[in-house]
A and B are shown apart, each in its own frame.
Chain A
Amino acid sequence: MLTAYSLQLKAKSIKNMAKYNLNVNGKKYNVDADADTPLLWVIRDHVGLKGTKFGCGMALCGACTVHLDGQPIRSCSTPISTLKATNKITTIEGISVNTDSAIQKAWIEEQVPQCGYCQSGQIMSAVALLKEKSNPTDSDIDEAMSGNICRCGTYPRIRKAIHRAAELMKDSGNSTGK
């Protein structure tokens, strides 16, 4: 019988020989990792937040998008040594506590995801867009979102959902997308 093992989050404390201090979603982490380790793998394998995804490793697909002090960056191509302890990193898990940000609500309303793998990155790019432009045009969306690949082809719904989120934010007087 093989039932003793089941999937569970690994205890991350084993790797706490502090070398880099990180602030992820408002929580502080001490991470022992090589200087060239991409932030993506630090977030996934050291911090243990799995919502940020690996897609290409070359900043071509956007699946790994997170925010660095509010700006979208590709974490797969951001070595941890380039970050400061004062930098605020936000991942998909930090967008809302109850999946109730305008963007997430709009994504659910429009039933955007298919496989869902790229959607963390899509949402991070969209949140950043709406923070810059509360009522984006289609070409604003093209510009902000064309770095995020969706192989399932949810683009028409992403477009609709961003417009919908802009409406939701307007209705609620919230201008952050979160």
Chain B
Amino acid sequence: MKRMREASAAVPAGGLAPGDIVRGAEEMAGAKPSRKILWGFVPIGVLQAAFFFVPLAVMVLYSLWRAEGVRVVPDWTLQNYANLFKTRMYILTLLKTGGISLLVTVLALLFGYPFAFFLVRYVRKQWQIPLLMLVIIPFWTSYLLRVYAWMGILGRKGIINSLLMALKVIEEPLPFLIYNNMSVTLVFLYLYLPFAIITLYAAIEKFDFKQMSAAADLGATPWRAFLEIMLPQTKQGVITSFIFIFIPMLGEYIAPKLVGGTSGTLIAILIVNLFRGFQIPQGAAVALSIAALITVVLVVFRRYLKVEELI
């Protein structure tokens, strides 16, 4: 092998020579990837260093400094982080954000699993992909517009209220439809259900359903067969969608802003208010606590991160 490489190096550049074939064979064996290809890392490296990692590092820095009026002064302190645990509002909002995110994730899995099952089992093969695309399309369209659509339905003058009033069922708009935790949960579910379906479909599609017949033949009830055979084998999809629904929801701003009202405030709203009020160090500390939480989840579940499945 070494001699072959020497031989190919001896071949003058340009023109066809037997050595070229040797070189080709070597590359095929995976011996010599060109160093030049490493230049491909330069643009993305510069982009992400300058406009992603450095800004995040600046946030870390600011979170350790102090606000004086609208300015940040380089006065080292851990007070901003201590406030996270001392201020009731932060603790409650953080807990509520985590709670709603968890609730929505579980709901999306509960509603998404049977739907994905329906696609795999009760839809003919040639219709599965078109129908799956009908699920995927909403997921990649604007969050803002999809939240806006719900404002038109749940709002005080929205479709539900105006319909019920036209039918003389109610005289005043129902107050509990919008601007509370329930409306936020519902809209979140609407936003993230497609994603649960997509990932669960990928997992269930790989499942060999003959095992279910075998389990039934051996006397297992459908429920037990599901719990002991199907669910463990589709675990990958369940965990993947869990991560990818739970994480983005922690930083979700639009839905609580538009349908949450004052009682549906989540941590993202709080962060924005802090920054808008020039309390940059405190805002940075809250934002970074979310980033830390996300990092923990990602590290714990790193085995299940199949980002490619998204696209």
| A, B from the same assembly | no
Interface residues of A (CB under 8 A from B): none
